[in-house]
Amino acid sequence: DAGVTQSPTHLIKTRGQQVTLRCSPISGHKSVSWYQQVLGQGPQFIFQYYEKEERGRGNFPDRFSARQFPNYSSELNVNALLLGDSALYLCASSLVDNYRDEQFFGPGTRLTVL
């Protein structure tokens, strides 16, 4: 079975630009979460979507937004990019959203902001 897929793999943008990252969950999984990982740190939670509804949001500015589509794929948008947004952006999928549910990560999108 295919795992979580993300696109693009790498992305280079300049300050002030906007970026859209895409994620397709494992087949049958209905929940998608987004995390940001900067070098030397653990991933930080950005959003979770379940059945196309936002279930939670981490401590990120409104420049970050996301949505989930009827096929459970998801997009993360970041507007007005800052140098500090340079990071590995990870998408994780899970079957449902209860506390016993494991989250499986995709390969990530590495974003560099110049």
Partner 1 sequence: QKEVEQNSGPLSVPEGAIASLNCTYSDRGSQSFFWYRQYSGKSPELIMFIYSNGDKEDGRFTAQLNKASQYVSLLIRDSQPSDSATYLCAVLRRSGYALNFGKGTSLLVTP
Residue from 19, 22, 1 nearest 107 by CA: 22
Q: How far is the CB of 16 from partner 1 (least distance, A)?
A: 28
Would you say 15 and 32 are in contact if contact means Cβ atoms under 8 Å apart?
no
Answer yes or no whether residue 64 interacts with partner 1 by CB under 8 A.
no
Does residue number 23 form part of the binding site for partner 1 (CB under 8 A)? Answer: no
Instruction: Report if residue 95 touches partner 1, rule: CB under 8 A.
Output: no
Those residues with Cβ within 8 angstroms of residue 34's Cβ, 6 or more apart along the chain or in another chain: 23, 45, 46, 47, 48, 66, 74, 76, 89, 90, 91, 92
Q: How far is the CB of 11 from partner 1 (least distance, A)?
A: 16
Indicate which single residue of 55, 60, 67, 73 sits in contact with partner 1 (rule: CB under 8 A).
55
Backbone angles phi, psi at 41, to 5 degrees: -120, 160
Q: Residues interacting with partner 1, by CB under 8 A?
A: 31, 33, 35, 40-45, 48, 50, 55-56, 58, 88, 90, 92, 97-100, 102-108
